[in-house]
Amino acid sequence: MKDIKRLKIIIKGAVQGVGFRPFIYRLATELNLKGWVNNSASGVFIEVEATRTILEQFLSRIPQEKPPISQINTIETSWLNPVNYTNFEIRHSSSGDKTAIILPDLATCYDCLQEIFDPNNRRYLYPFTNCTNCGPRYTIIEELPYDRPKTSMKEFTMCKECQEEYENPLNRRFHAQPNACPKCGPKLQLWNPKGEVLATENNALEESITALKAGNILAVKGLGGFQLIVDARNNQAVKQLRQRKHRPDKPFALMYASLDDIKVDCKVSDLEQQLLTSPQAPIVLIKRNKNSDHLSPNIAPNNPYLGVMLPSTPLHHLLLHKIDFPIVATSGNIASEPICIDNEEALQRLGNIADLFLVHNRSIIRPVDDSVVRVMGGREMIIRRARGYAPFPIQIDEQLLSKYKQNSQSIPNILAVGGHLKNTVAILKNNQVFISQHIGDLSTVEALKSFNQVMDSLKQLYEFEPDIIVCDKHPDYVSSQYAKAQNLPLFTVQHHYAHTLSCMANNNLKPPVLGVAWDGTGYGDNNTIWGGEFILIADNNYQRIAHFKPFKLPGGEQAVKDPRRIALSLLYAVFEDYNSLKLPFLETISSKELNLVKQMLSRNLNTPLTSSVGRFFDGVAAMIGICEKISFEGQGAINLEYAINDVNIQANYPYEIIELDYPLVIDWELIIKGIIEDILQNLSHQEIATKFHNTLVEIIIDVAQKTKENNILLTGGCFQNKYLTERTILRLKQEKLHPFWHKNVPPNDGGIALGQIIASIIEK
Ligand code: ZN
Ligand code: ZN
Ligand code: FE
């Protein structure tokens, strides 16, 4: 037939390891097309022959009927002369440019779950069951293209049945790289802290469950690393876990067997339900119910929210289905160190924490923690971006990149090393930014090791060699020092400018924008610590248009850990003689220390200045007596937010904006005076906390109006605060301004690397 045409199609996006080729195979066979499909590192390639009408039908059905977890970014087509293919086949993977998207790890799908609990299925109770719709990806892949010999599944040779599934294009496990069964796949073992094997396979599972019921702490090798788990109702066990993990206060996440079980303890909204049951299966911060008091009070002390999640792997499903209580499931680490991924390393690092180790022999290639999300302003906001989300790329607006085209330059490879706390790193390759999973605080040797490993693996995975390296302006950050040591063109970016750009990119906006960048700490252009900033971005430059009036941190880091010192500093600035104020929190401080701090303040001894709103939150929390010592970043602010507890108070404290010159200065003296008055009048914490938050919101409105900028970006760690963020959104809308907040890139320092990349793009 002479009207036969050949159509060549290249599909790019998240199309590997999601059942895309079998989908194409089925569609092509259905339409009786001849030709082939294959997978390369840069996407899916297809050649098909038929009449033009049928080929056009084929083409239009691809995006309509594609596998649910795939994502198509581009489809390129070209029409060619036929070469008379005689059948349709799936060809072997070929290599090529490494730009294909690696999928994140996905929670166990419905079909696999049915099999695990079906006594007649050959995968009955098998903890490593998966298919093309679910299972590990990012945590097992060594290099592209995504093929079994390039994953940690290469150690396992498929049995005959598994191989047949793997080769059958009509099977759900066609080319499911981690495909396995009890006969041929990874196996469980239960170890004691010396690494001696106590039980294997199903017995290991059974004995783990018995140990959990008895109140033991179990280290479990999960998908992206070890988790520490314990009976969430057992107060003694939870307390012990806190002690051993050196984590006195920070809330623990919980894992429940089912959504119904979560609903016993939490008020789950529709959106929260969607998030919990999504393939990402993150930890979701949800309001707890009054009747959740069967849980240990040590899970999340004084916290109206719980971080809850559903099982995301068959192993977790199997552990939970035989127990009738939720478990604490927290990262396998000490304090804020990175999560542990290796069996032997787990014995060393977690040997003093866990009573037993439930391990297996499938290696984890890179650490990936559980992700944390919170519903914010009616949609999800990612607070910790890891399992289920990383390394899904962020697309960069073509217009931002257009200058390279105009100058007929190719887009450079940019590596951004992020900040210091909640570190992530990112790379720009073509028009996409790949942000690493959450690495953590870079304050320990372990963390630094992990930082280097994540960086190396990102480079290796995408065959990426940076042309330019970007880091924070802070000279002491280890990430900045790493960047400087690389011998590459170096570009430094101010912290709050990076926050603002991160929020801008996350909302696909272009300058001009006004960023409200409020956080705990960031190195300022004037070498002081910033954190209460209004950043105006126009074209390729930024201006610090307004900021909080700086205050002193008596003893620097000591004030950060003991926010009562910040409270004293704020009081001193307003009243000088704070000893005579009859404030309850003063009674918790010795007169010796009161005098010492006063001397420091009066003589400016070791009292670095900061404009940080995060620290201001801490100071106010200490002043009203709801935060004495800080054991994790943001604790004071969190206590203050939670003190609000659903109240309808519209009042706020007075404040002043000093408008002599730019930057405008937000003077908080009247706020402190107002708070003191309220404390002395015995107003509740709830009322004071609410009025304080309302005040901050009015300050934002005020500055936004003075700046005459319409697009207002809420960024920085302070905007993880739901009351603050949602009230600001509401008030900005009332004033006909356009609020923007973070979505799938965190507002905290986990988003800094993205901002750094944008800064270096728009610089020139
Ligand atoms: Zn599945
Ligand atoms: Zn098998
Ligand atoms: Fe920050």
Query: How many Å lie between the centroid of ligand 1 and the Cα of residue 313?
Result: 10
Using the predicted structure, report yes or no on whether residue 383 has a pLDDT greater than 70: yes
> What residues contact 736, with CB distance under 8 A and at least 6 apart?
none
Predicted local confidence at residue 625, as pLDDT: 95
Give residue 144 CA to ligand 2 midpoint distance, Å.
24
Q: How confident is the model at residue 655 (pLDDT cuts 50, 70, 90)?
A: very high
**How far apart are the CA of 705 and the centre of ligand 3, in A?**
24
- For residue 282, the model assigns a pLDDT of 98
- Ligand 1 centre from 603 Cα, in Å? 66
> Which of 105-114, 530-539, 579-588, 723-732 has the lowest average pLDDT?
579-588
**pLDDT 10s digits, 113-170:** 999 999 999 999 999 999 988 999 999 999 887 889 999 999 999 999 999 999 998 8
Ion ligand 1 residue ranges (Cβ < 5 Å): 109, 112, 131, 133-134
Q: How far is the CA of 553 from the centre of ligand 1 (A)?
A: 53
What's the length of the chain? 764
The pLDDT, as a whole number, for residue 434 is 94
Give every CB contact of residue 396 below 8 A, 6+ residues apart in sequence: 428, 431, 432, 433, 505, 758, 761
Higher pLDDT, 44 or 316: 316
- Model confidence pLDDT, tens digit, residues 54-94: 999 999 999 999 987 788 888 999 999 999 999 998 887 66
Domains and CATH numbers, the chain: 4-90 (3.30.70.100), 111-383 (3.90.870.30), 393-505+745-764 (3.30.420.360), 546-742 (3.30.420.40)
For 384-408, how does the pLDDT look when each residue is reduced to its tens digit (9 = 90+)? 999 999 998 898 888 888 888 888 8
Q: What is the pLDDT of residue 2?
A: 61
Q: Which two tokens stand for residue 585?
A: 């929190």
Q: Kindly give the distance from the C-alpha atom of residue 163 to the centroid of ligand 2, in angstroms, as a whole number.
A: 7
What is the whole-number distance in angstroms between the Cα of residue 357 and the centre of ligand 2? Answer: 25
Task: Report how far apart, in Å, the C-alpha atoms of 212 and of each of 230, 285, 294 are.
Answer: 6, 24, 17
Alpha carbon distance 400, 754 (integer Å)? 14
Distance 125 CA to ligand 2 centre (A): 14
Mean per-residue pLDDT for 662-689? 97
Do residues 13 and 73 make contact, with C-beta atoms less than 8 angstroms apart? yes
- Spatial strand order of the sheet with 88-90 comes to 71-80, 4-14, 43-51, 34-40, 88-90
Q: Which ligand is nearest to the CA of 164?
A: 2
Q: How far is the CA of 365 from the centre of ligand 2 (A)?
A: 22
Sign of the torsion formed by the C-alpha atoms of 268, 274, 276 and 282: negative
Q: In this predicted model, what pLDDT tens digit does every residue of 562-603 receive, in sequence order?
A: 999 999 999 999 998 888 888 999 999 999 999 999 999 999
Tell me how far apart the alpha carbons of residues 338 and 335 are, in angstroms, rounded to a whole number: 9
Query: Does residue 429 surpass a pLDDT of 60?
Result: yes
- Cβ neighbours of residue 155 closer than 8 Å, sequence gap 6 or more: 361, 362, 363
Give the amino acid at 566. I
**Among all ligands shown, which has an atom nearest to the Cα of 157?**
2
Mean pLDDT value across the chain: 94
What's residue 196's pLDDT?
97
- Checking if the pLDDT of 95 tops 70, the result is no
Mean pLDDT of 334-357: 92
SS3 (DSSP) at 292: coil
The four Cα atoms 611, 617, 622, 627 give a dihedral, to 10 degrees, of -130
Question: Are 435 and 754 within 8 A, CB to CB?
Answer: yes
pLDDT of residue 42: 77
Q: How far is CA 274 from the centre of its chain?
A: 18
Pick the ligand that lies closest to the CA of residue 530. 3
What pLDDT score does 403 carry?
83
Q: Are strands 283-287 and 218-221 parallel, antiparallel or unpaired?
A: unpaired
Is residue 505 over pLDDT 80?
A: yes
Pairing relationship of beta strands 34-40 and 43-51 according to DSSP bridges: antiparallel
In the prediction, which pLDDT does 682 show?
Answer: 95
Segment 683-711 shows an average pLDDT of: 97
Give the distance (Å) from ligand 2 centre to CA of residue 110: 20
CA of 173 to the centre of ligand 2 (A): 11
In this predicted model, what pLDDT tens digit does every residue of 293-341 receive, in sequence order?
899 999 998 899 999 999 999 999 999 999 989 999 999 988 778 899 9
599-638 pLDDT, tens digit each: 999 999 999 999 999 999 999 999 999 998 999 989 999 9
